[in-house]
Amino acid sequence: MKWMYLYGPVSVLLAALHVPAYGQSAARPQVELPQGAVRNVILRNCVACHGIDDYAFHALDRAGWKQLMDVPHKQRGVTLSGRDEKVLLNYLSDTFGTESIPFPRNYIAPAISEFFTNPEARVFLERVCTECHELRVFAHRKDAAGWRALVLDMRERGAKISALNIEKLVEWLARVRGTNPVE
Ligand code: HEC
Ligand code: HEC
């Protein structure tokens, strides 16, 4: 009898695994820990309370980054030496400067129940993505999160694409141009 109680939730869990992983939760940016001197500055001072992905929500100049470091952080006792602060501000304003596109904070990936076939995806790409430039997706491989960030970036630049179609495209791109291709 005990086993039935155990298997119940497990099979529900397994069934849920067949649902594609792009769920209801808000899409998150993914920031890689940089190399070089700033790596240790971040590891020493910045990862105790929160991760580094949140940096990508911002696109600020050096003064903006300095303010963001000062305002919520100094009162919490996060103070850097002059040298470390310089290294950090260089990295932040170079990587997440005013030229970059801040990751949209409130994008909630809708769950999809329909999936693009290859011809449908091609037609869609031709219609939506060639408005500004030739098709470039075949030069890249990314996982779903990477493709989502790219397509959201294109939407920020003016591509007309609904959240549902973003997710259909992301699912298809991760399927045929993923980092771990089946073919
Ligand atoms: C003592 C804990 C603590 C440490 C250490 C810390 N932070 Fe924070 N950080 C916070 C808190 C709390 C917030 C949220 C402040 C708010 O919402 O007003 C925050 C917010 C941020 C944000 C904005 C996040 C967002 O979602 O917009 C960035 C960027 C950031 N921190 C970068 C850093 C960097 C870079 C360092 C290293 C110098 C650092 N943090 C170290 C506590 C910390
Ligand atoms: C409103 C204009 C516009 C639309 C529509 C558009 N893009 Fe872009 N795309 C850009 C701009 C601007 C850049 C960056 C500058 C550049 O590389 O030309 C870019 C860059 C890219 C890059 C990076 C190029 C590289 O090799 O690094 C890819 C990939 C890409 N777009 C894919 C897409 C996809 C997929 C779509 C359809 C969902 C799309 N774009 C729709 C304007 C657009």
* Ligand 1 atom index nearest CA of 45: 37
Same domain, 83 and 132: no
In the predicted model, what is the mean pLDDT of residues 11-32?
Answer: 54
**Does a structural domain hold residue 181?**
no
Nearest alpha carbon, ligand 1 atom 25: 54
Contacts 24+ apart (CB under 8 A), 61-68: 61/93, 61/97, 61/98, 62/89, 62/92, 62/93, 65/89, 65/92, 65/93, 65/96
Q: Would you say the CB of residue 154 lies under 6 angstroms from ligand 2? A: yes
CATH label of the domain that carries residue 172: 1.10.760
CA–centroid distance, residue 159 to ligand 1 (Å)? 32
> Of the candidates 49, 83, 108, which is a domain's last residue?
108
**Does a structural domain hold residue 15?**
no
Q: Residue 31 phi/psi, 5° resolution?
A: -110, 130
Same domain, 30 and 94: yes
How far is the C-alpha of 99 from the C-alpha of 93, rounded, in Å? 9
In the predicted model, what is the mean pLDDT of residues 124-137?
Answer: 94
CA-based nearest residue to 25, from 103, 110, 143: 110
**Does a structural domain hold residue 4?**
no
**Does a structural domain hold residue 1?**
no
Parent domain of 122: 118-176
Q: Look at the chain and report how many structural domains it folds into.
A: 2
**Does a structural domain hold residue 11?**
no
**Does a structural domain hold residue 36?**
yes
Chain segment 51-66, per-residue pLDDT in tens: 999 999 999 999 999 9
pLDDT of residue 157: 81
How far is the C-alpha of 14 from the C-alpha of 16, rounded, in Å? 5
pLDDT band at residue 13, thresholds of 50, 70 and 90?
very low
pLDDT of residue 182: 56
Same domain, 43 and 89: yes
> Of the candidates 58, 74, 108, which is a domain's last residue?
108
- Lowest pLDDT segment from 14-18, 96-100, 148-152, 169-173: 14-18
Token code pair at residue 61 = 């100049």
Q: Which of 122, 123, 136, 141 to mutate to test the pocket of ligand 2 (most atoms within 8 A of CB)?
A: 136
Percentage of the chain beyond pLDDT 70 is 84
Same domain, 104 and 153: no
Q: What's the distance, CA 90 to chain centroid?
A: 22
Q: Would you say the CB of residue 27 lies under 6 angstroms from ligand 2? A: no
CA–centroid distance, residue 109 to ligand 1 (Å)? 25
- Is residue 5 scored above 50 in pLDDT? no
Same domain, 102 and 125: no
* Top mean-pLDDT range of 5-19, 40-54, 145-159: 40-54
Same domain, 32 and 94: yes
In the predicted model, what is the mean pLDDT of residues 128-134?
Answer: 94
Cα dist. 53→2, 44, 76, 129 in Å? 42, 16, 20, 27
> Of the candidates 56, 90, 108, which is a domain's last residue?
108
Cβ 170 vs Cβ 151: under 8 Å: yes
Q: Would you say the CB of residue 101 lies under 6 angstroms from ligand 2? A: no
Cβ 65 vs Cβ 90: under 8 Å: no
Same domain, 28 and 90: yes
Percentage of the chain beyond pLDDT 90 is 61
Same domain, 125 and 102: no
* Ligand 2 atom index nearest CA of 137: 29
pLDDT band at residue 1, thresholds of 50, 70 and 90?
very low
Q: Which of 40, 73, 89 to mutate to test the pocket of ligand 1 (most atoms within 8 A of CB)?
A: 73
